[in-house]
Amino acid sequence: MTFQRQRLSFVLAAAAAAVVLTAAPAMAQGAYPSKSVLLIVPTAAGGTTDLSGRMAAQALAPVLGQSVVVDNKGGGNGAIAANLVKRADADGYTLLMQYSGYHVISPHLVKAKSWEQGDFVPVANVLSAPQIIVVRADLPVKTLAELVSYAKADPGKLNYASSGNGSLQHVTGAMLEQQAGAKMVHVPYKGTGPALQDLLGGQVDLTFGTAPPFMPHVQSGKLRV
């Protein structure tokens, strides 16, 4: 049941113009980095953004010669993490592991924005991955067509988890409802990790996301794609 038209891209971004304006002169003097680097992740632990951040931190540490500390600051549809990084000193020591669902979608959904895309300078595209639809194993559907028919047969019976209001999962669910002419109940979480736990526990029926956090459970038969 791959939802192939939706793609995520993860962007590693530094506060303001920190890497360009302040880190470069420090590197020329041989002083950067002289201490640990903080990598803030805008989701709870367990999702693809978190996994990507931890992989990036592990790879960066030996290159920089300093530890890279991952700090999860989920909530607010990415606003909590974004504001922390925005307010941090523009010295290259505070990075944001952003993803397009927050960085691209959120500014168009929130009227009173506390941050702008221009507050950050993109450093690297870390990961691109397709969205998939994942359902609990005992849900009586095996294809996208069966899922749509099931949802249309009993409006409001199915509920789907997302990583927050306005997140890519939320938008994907809303698009599926709109295009299929079905009605489901949206249940927002602070990240894919908590949503996954409730999906495994049967509290929610399905969710959307990138494959890494779900595949071990799909392979064990606890979830179905």
Range of the domain at 184: 130-224
Within a domain: residue 99? yes
- Residue where one domain finishes, among candidates 128, 151, 185: 128
Within a domain: residue 166? yes
Q: What is the CATH number of the domain that holds 137?
A: 3.40.190.10
106 and 42 in a common domain: yes
Which pLDDT score is estimated for 30? Answer: 56
Residue 210 CA to residue 164 CA, distance in Å, equals 15
Which pLDDT score is estimated for 110? Answer: 72
98 and 140 in a common domain: no
Q: What is the CATH number of the domain that holds 121?
A: 3.40.190.150
Which pLDDT score is estimated for 217? Answer: 93
- Residue where one domain finishes, among candidates 97, 128, 159: 128
Q: How many CB atoms lie under 10 A from the CB of residue 125? A: 11
Within a domain: residue 1? no
User: Mapping DSSP to helix (H, G, I), strand (E, B) and coil, where does residue 169 land?
Assistant: helix
- pTM, two decimal places: 0.65
Q: Return the closest-CA partner of residue 97 out of 76, 118, 68.
A: 68
Which pLDDT score is estimated for 9? Answer: 28
111 and 90 in a common domain: yes
146 and 107 in a common domain: no
| Domains of the chain: total | 2
Say which residues have a Cβ less than 8 Å from residue 135's Cβ, sequence separation at least 6.
1, 141, 147, 205, 206, 223, 224, 225
CB 100 within 8 A of CB 168: yes
Which pLDDT score is estimated for 148? Answer: 94
Within a domain: residue 61? yes
Residue-by-residue pLDDT tens, the chain, 225 positions: 433 322 222 233 332 222 222 233 344 445 788 999 999 998 888 878 888 889 889 998 998 899 999 999 988 878 889 899 989 888 889 999 987 777 877 777 777 678 888 888 888 888 777 888 999 999 999 999 999 999 999 899 999 999 888 788 888 899 999 999 999 999 998 888 889 999 999 999 999 988 888 889 999 999 998
Which pLDDT score is estimated for 25? Answer: 39
